[in-house]
Structure 1
Amino acid sequence: MGPKKNRIKTFIGELPKNIFSGFVVSLIALPLGLGLAIASEAPPISGIIAAIVGGTVVAILGGSNVTITGPGNGLVIVLLSAITTLGGGDLYQGYLLTLGAIVISGILMILLGFLRLGILSDFFPASAIQGMLAAIGIGIFAKQFHVMVGQIDTKGSIIELLLKIPAAISNLFVSAPMEVMVAAAVGVGSLLIMVFYSKIRNKYFQLIPAPMWIVILTVGLSYYYQYFSSDPYPISQKLLVSLPNDIVSNLAFPDFSKVLDSNFINAVIAITLISSIESLLSIKAVDKLDPQKRRSNVNKDLKALGAATTLSGFLGGLNVVTVIARSSVNVNNGGSNRSANFFHALFLVLFIVLFQEQLKRIPLPALAAILVYTGYKLAAPESVRRVSKIGNEQLLIFFITLFSTIATNLITGILIGILTTFLIHIIINRSLSLFLGNALKPNVLMFKEGDKGNYYVSVKNFCSFLNFYKLKAKLDAIPEDKEAVVDFSMCDFVDHTVMESLNAYQQTFMRKGGNFEVIGLDAHEADSVHPFAIRKIIPFQTIIKVDKNLTKRQRLISEVAKDFTWSYEPKKERDVSFLYDFIYFETKQIKHVYNQLFDQEKELNLFDIEYSEGEFIAKEVIRSTMLFIKIDGAMPVFTLDKEGFLEVIYQWAGFKDVDIEAHSDFSKRFYLRGEDEEGIRRLFTDELVLFFESNPYYHVESNGDHLIIKNKERLASVKEIKMIIDFGLRLKTIIQKQLVC
């Protein structure tokens, strides 16, 4: 009974955090749900129904921990195609028939879960998936751009819609009526909010997500015209969100009359395939963000998503998938279990019940702007640059998948991407027999070696997206706090998808105290220096040279090193395991540190660091400067930040602020937390409190024997580097003296 009671106590204790996180996620889910439904030519309420049903059902039946479910970006193109094709010109009838396809798709997803086919995501090449996602992004962008500028009647294929964009812009300045120009201004203004939102480093402003700011401002604009302006509201009714007055009595029900029609069957297959891929990839990505590093039961989650999709379809909602952007927001706001998903759904119900009139005032161009930005993020030039760094063959796979998806459909596009990848692998290795002759042979051997029970895994012949599931099954069976060695010395070829997956395992093992090492690739060559590049025995082309010239800032930092008689190392260092014990990095992915300054004893290390928050389209890369300090002796684990409104909310959500007696001013100005409250109070003597009160604010964190000090979420200037070094040296002296006493 003890463990069960502890789980219940933990659940109740974490409830405030999950309620708060669910609320924040709902602020994003509301406008996105409306926008995704409208982009699919479905009634706006269908997107909200999917989010409510998904959040409720998956929270109860799911196998993941911190994911959020609802309508997804990837299905917009599929649903739009299904509604327009099945309806034969009647969009509402097409919507009812598509609901039937959604219901059957949900049943198929349940079946996939029972058949334990969660491994399906491992059969898709990474670059082909990137190409497919970019094609989805371009499709969303092409359609929603015209809505964003108030021209909602523009029709055509993706290519036709892209070609019509210059004319749409020209029309605004030549022949567009005033109501269209005002709608376009609202749409462009909303897009600017989406673009520049992340640039505003004000934590109070960012308490409200960018999509909800758009809703608040545009709804506020309509009230301004109603109560404060003599002019009529300049946006016509057809450019506003349409919701039924009585949602319950107006629920739509699926139509199965074309269940044997080839177009209906194609729609079911497409919805099932893309739903499964998007969900499985999102689950894998969100697992990396989970502070507790739990591993989701993907097959159980597939069954829950299928059940939610089936119910959503019967109630008139879109299909339900795991969504990466909203899941990232959930993790970053303290969501720790599936209850956050449930509360996000509950808040959406409250919004629909309490603010139905306000939702009808949202302009369609504003919602389209959110999707235009989403489409751009999916197909951003950065994706092309990232793929090109891995290798030219990956860039070829990416573009072939992208263009074939745009020219045909998602299923055909991804199949062409898979076939292209397979053919390129054959050409690179100059051998068809390597793949056909060994495809069905067992190529992975695993056993424990030595008294310590270390795991040794040997891979032979080839390892690619075609048979990675075999290696993955073995690696998943290894406890992540153990030692694992994966040997590719008997393997002729390792593809990009496998190399990227192996890197994910290395990161997970490091975080959980284990060690994951890949050996046997010394004889293999690659066509780029990227760590995810394909590896093969036969030579391919010359490895790219790396430019080692220092920038002006780096030269100045090296001069600082000389002033302090420290050592300077400008190159990137990817071994960042020394940072994993700090709470600050629990929900962040560290890429590398560089520009490191070491003192002679290597007890102080100042470095630039690159890390990211969130995943997928919600991913934000941050570069900052930090100081790492070794302390001789044991000190309590604590985090110290400047007190603010956000910290007050954290306290309500369960993060307790440790007050220091007789220092009320310090307690008001600083937010101090940690589990060992008595130890923290002993450490924070009058001298240490006075030090913090009389110096600039820094984020200071202890993991027990080391400190990290950070100022801003940007790279520090050389002057700021000298200031943080001075601050750190004096802080180390005071704490060291306290521990000796």
Structure 2
Amino acid sequence: MGNSKSNTSKFISELPKNMFSGFVVSLIALPLGLGLALASEAPPISGVIASIVGGIVVSIFGGSNVTITGPGNGLVVVLLGAITILADGNMYQGYIFTLAAIICSGVLMIIIGQLRLGTLSDFFPSSAIQGMLAAIGISIFAKQFHVMLANTSIKGDTLSMLADIPTSISVLFTPEYSDIVIAAVVGVSSLFIMVFYGKIRNKYFQLVPAPMWIVLIAIGLSYYYEFFSTEAYPISASLLVQIPNEVFSSFPRPDFSLLLDMKFIGVVVSITLISTIESLLSIKAVDKLDPLKRRSNVNKDLTALGIASIVSGFVGGLNVVTVIARSSVNVNNGGSNRSSNFFHSVFLILFVVLFQDQLRRIPLTALAAILVYTGYKLAAPKNLKDVAKIGKEQLLIFSATVIATITTNLITGILVGILTTILIHFVLNKSIMFFVRNLFKPNVLMFKEEINDNYFVSIKNFSSFMNYTKLKKKLDTIPENEDAVVDFSLCDFVDYTVQESLIGYQETFKRKGGSFEITGLDIHGASSEHPLAVRSLIPFSKKLKVGPKSNLTKRQFDLQQIADDFSWNYDPKKDENVLALSDFVFFKIKKVSYLNNAIFDQRDVFRISDVVFSEGEFIARSLVRTTVLTIKLNKEIPKFTLDKEGLLEFVYKFAGFKDVTIQGHPDFSKRFYLLGEDTENIRSFFTDEIVLFFESNPYYHIECNGQSLLLMRKERLASIKEIKALLDYGTRLEKIISGTQYDEIVLKTPKIKT
């Protein structure tokens, strides 16, 4: 009861800042809503209606916290195609057919949400999705560039409109078209405002978003000609926003007569698919921005978006999706809960009711400029460059998706992207059967380790967008304030989509106070120098001549940072000189293959390395990777093995090995198993100070061969957090055992937060 009152009080106290944030968002949503509707060949007010309905419905029924809803960029191409083809060129009839399709799409989104199919977005390769968004951007740019130059006569597909751009530019210099020059100047000027807005570092100027500056200046120009100029307003009525006199008095009726037509069904599927993908991607991105680090209920949000799309369709609005740009503005202006989405709708209603005359003064060229900039951002050359850095195969996936989407449609484009990704995976692994054989096998093992209560997740065979949901379901059960280690040592192939998704988990766990670390990727070949490049045990990286340190994994970069913090050295390369480990009992009957990822000080007293070794032979042979710390001592001490008392140690006892007890420390003898031949010297060596150190610190498996110590904890690769703890433990233990001979090294060691 008290908690409920506290939440209510907090909600009320935060209303002012959410109201302000909603107002700022509405300043962007108004011109964008008008522009996106115009780009779709729908009535301009339909985009604003979608924003109003979305804000009200989703703020009540949604499962997210700081997202803003309304018409989205991704649907422009689909809606434009639907309005154009469903009625064979009759734009108004196509519009009311499209309203029916939007309503049907809303029903499908409700079903998707209720069936908890929000994970559908995980089945799409990242590069294919980026290619789809780039293709949408190119299509928006191609159409709206002509409108920005006041040329509304050019029609056709994306490629033909791109080819006609020089024509629209040349028209401006033709005398018979001088009447459109002012409108084109308004459009080009608006584009300049969008481009250079961010470079003006004035806090008062920045209070008004760039799209609203464009609207205000355009409306101001209209009033200038009306009250201060002797000349008539030079922009024709056909190039101004058209809004009905009574916006909310009569709504168009959706036409369901094509309900069973295949073209209509295709439109419904396209709207549903793109709406779902765009919304899920936006929700994920906005969750990362949320200052309170909350995670949205995506299935509940999809249901709410479906309800909103149905309502919007019945009142003449476009479909409703979650939009990343407006959501980002909401967070940046202090939005903290769903009420900011509601207030953004309220302000839009006020704008439409109170400023209808002003809205009719906005030139279409100004709104088109906003969309030209939006399209460019989606398809900017920088995006292509970033994809190419990840790998040549990602560039191929991206390009195939873009070309297929532009030349056909969005559904075909994303399917081509998926098929291209699968084909490339087959080629990289030189085997189709590898994927077919392992696709439906459980490839994820997760358990909570007794020591330190870490969650350990091991992935076998392959990990790609095709089976990522298996891994995601396991990861989603781990509390984000705990420590998790995800190990790919037993995985032959890891694709870019999986690695990109795991970066999101790392960021979330870090914000919530936990840690999420990825190990086992450094043994794989990489397709490029990028940290998230496709990783495979087939060493295709050699063909690309990738340098030894140019394609380090994130874990290796972190290891390099640890070495730098210590002023020590780091070497990621394989080292097959493993003789030093053969003197330790643990490795006596094990075949050590190599060491890598070594961190060591200038005198090589301390050396921490990943070790790859095998146990057993033939069919019983298994490959194991672990992390060990070796410490060279400045004096000879007795040989011993120290470990936590447990089942294995009881087996040692039955096999004839005797546990060395330390007089005066019964608790130590109960908790630890101490093994060694020279019993008296071992007892003399284990002074009160050393015993107290072991009793008051975490457990490690410790061995001494007389001249060196070996420390390790688990037969798996250690996480960065565990490596820091191991180094801290080892440096303190060495100081106790060896006196102060290496104080200069220890003193240079920074304090490690474990």
- Specify the TM-score bucket, using the shorter chain as the normaliser: 0.7 to 0.9
- Structure-to-structure mapping, 1:616-655, within 5 angstroms: none
| 1:568 CA drift (Å) | 12
Alignment partner, residue 425 of structure 2: 425
Give the whole-Å Cα distance in 2 for the aligned partners of 1:63 and 1:508: 18
Give the whole-Å Cα distance in 2 for the aligned partners of 1:353 and 1:452: 61
Residue 252 of structure 1 aligns with an amino acid whose one-letter code is: P
Alignment partner, residue 468 of structure 1: 468
Verify the 8 A CA contact 1:63 1:296 in the aligned structure 2: yes
Give the whole-Å Cα distance in 1 for the aligned partners of 2:450 and 2:334: 41
Give the whole-Å Cα distance in 2 for the aligned partners of 1:483 and 1:543: 36
- Structure-to-structure mapping, 1:485-496, within 5 angstroms: 485-496=485-496
Give the whole-Å Cα distance in 2 for the aligned partners of 1:278 and 1:521: 31
Alignment partner, residue 478 of structure 1: 478
Alignment partner, residue 696 of structure 1: none
- Structure-to-structure mapping, 1:87-126, within 5 angstroms: 87-126=87-126
Residue 172 of structure 1 aligns with an amino acid whose one-letter code is: L
Residues 188 and 176 (structure 1), Cα distance of their counterparts in 2 relative to 1, 3 Å cut: farther
Give the whole-Å Cα distance in 2 for the aligned partners of 1:247 and 1:253: 14
1:668-707 deviations in Å (ceiling 9; x for gaps): xxxxxxxxxxxxxxxxxxxxxxxxxxxxxxxxxxxxxxxx
| 1:142 CA drift (Å) | 0.4
Alignment partner, residue 233 of structure 1: 233
Verify the 8 A CA contact 1:107 1:307 in the aligned structure 2: yes
Alignment partner, residue 257 of structure 2: 257
Alignment partner, residue 724 of structure 2: none
Verify the 8 A CA contact 1:178 1:234 in the aligned structure 2: no
Contiguous gaps of at least 5 residues in structure 2: 551-564, 571-754
- Structure-to-structure mapping, 1:567-578, within 5 angstroms: none
Alignment partner, residue 386 of structure 1: 386
Q: Does structure 1 residue 336 correspond to structure 2 residue 307?
A: no
Residues 375 and 546 (structure 1), Cα distance of their counterparts in 2 relative to 1, 3 Å cut: farther
1:202-235 deviations in Å (ceiling 9; x for gaps): 1110000000000000000000000000000000
Q: Give the secondary structure class of the aligned counterpart of 1:265.
A: helix
Alignment partner, residue 301 of structure 1: 301
Alignment partner, residue 281 of structure 2: 281
TM-score scaled to structure 1, two decimals? 0.73
Give the whole-Å Cα distance in 2 for the aligned partners of 1:341 and 1:442: 41
Contiguous gaps of at least 5 residues in structure 1: 549-565, 572-741
Verify the 8 A CA contact 1:528 1:543 in the aligned structure 2: no
Q: Give the secondary structure class of the aligned counterpart of 1:481.
A: coil
Alignment partner, residue 245 of structure 1: 245
Alignment partner, residue 349 of structure 1: 349
Verify the 8 A CA contact 2:171 2:177 in the aligned structure 1: no
Give the whole-Å Cα distance in 2 for the aligned partners of 1:175 and 1:424: 54
Q: Give the secondary structure class of the aligned counterpart of 1:275.
A: helix
Verify the 8 A CA contact 2:401 2:414 in the aligned structure 1: yes
| 1:402 CA drift (Å) | 0.2
- Structure-to-structure mapping, 1:368-379, within 5 angstroms: 368-379=368-379
Q: Does structure 1 residue 49 correspond to structure 2 residue 43?
A: no
Give the whole-Å Cα distance in 1 for the aligned partners of 2:226 and 2:90: 35
Alignment partner, residue 85 of structure 2: 85
1:252-285 deviations in Å (ceiling 9; x for gaps): 1210011111110110000000000000010001
Alignment partner, residue 169 of structure 1: 169
Q: Give the secondary structure class of the aligned counterpart of 1:445.
A: strand
Give the whole-Å Cα distance in 1 for the aligned partners of 2:3 and 2:71: 36
Residues 371 and 521 (structure 1), Cα distance of their counterparts in 2 relative to 1, 3 Å cut: same
Give the whole-Å Cα distance in 2 for the aligned partners of 1:290 and 1:302: 19
Q: Does structure 1 residue 448 correspond to structure 2 residue 451?
A: no
Q: Give the secondary structure class of the aligned counterpart of 2:371.
A: helix
Residue 435 of structure 2 aligns with an amino acid whose one-letter code is: F
| 1:453 CA drift (Å) | 2.1
Verify the 8 A CA contact 2:172 2:178 in the aligned structure 1: no
Q: Does structure 1 residue 511 correspond to structure 2 residue 507?
A: no
| 1:250 CA drift (Å) | 3.1
Alignment partner, residue 291 of structure 2: 291
Give the whole-Å Cα distance in 1 for the aligned partners of 2:451 and 2:506: 23
1:70-120 deviations in Å (ceiling 9; x for gaps): 000000000000000002111000000000000000000000001100001
Give the whole-Å Cα distance in 2 for the aligned partners of 1:547 and 1:153: 56
TM-score scaled to structure 2, two decimals? 0.72
Give the whole-Å Cα distance in 1 for the aligned partners of 2:463 and 2:156: 42
Give the whole-Å Cα distance in 1 for the aligned partners of 2:314 and 2:253: 6
Give the whole-Å Cα distance in 2 for the aligned partners of 1:311 and 1:182: 39
Verify the 8 A CA contact 1:46 1:316 in the aligned structure 2: yes
Q: Give the secondary structure class of the aligned counterpart of 1:87.
A: coil
Alignment partner, residue 733 of structure 1: none
Residue 433 of structure 1 aligns with an amino acid whose one-letter code is: M
| 1:178 CA drift (Å) | 2.4
Residues 176 and 144 (structure 1), Cα distance of their counterparts in 2 relative to 1, 3 Å cut: farther
- Structure-to-structure mapping, 1:70-81, within 5 angstroms: 70-81=70-81
Alignment partner, residue 580 of structure 2: none
Residue 465 of structure 1 aligns with an amino acid whose one-letter code is: F
1:485-544 deviations in Å (ceiling 9; x for gaps): 001111110000001111111111112111111111221110222121111100113354
Q: Does structure 1 residue 194 correspond to structure 2 residue 205?
A: no
| 1:249 CA drift (Å) | 2.2
| 1:451 CA drift (Å) | 4.5
Give the whole-Å Cα distance in 2 for the aligned partners of 1:250 and 1:359: 19
Higher normalized contact order (CA 8 Å, seq sep 6+, divided by chain length): 1
Residue 330 of structure 1 aligns with an amino acid whose one-letter code is: N
Runs of 4+ in 1 over 3 A off after TM superposition: 542-548, 566-569
% identical aligned pairs: 67
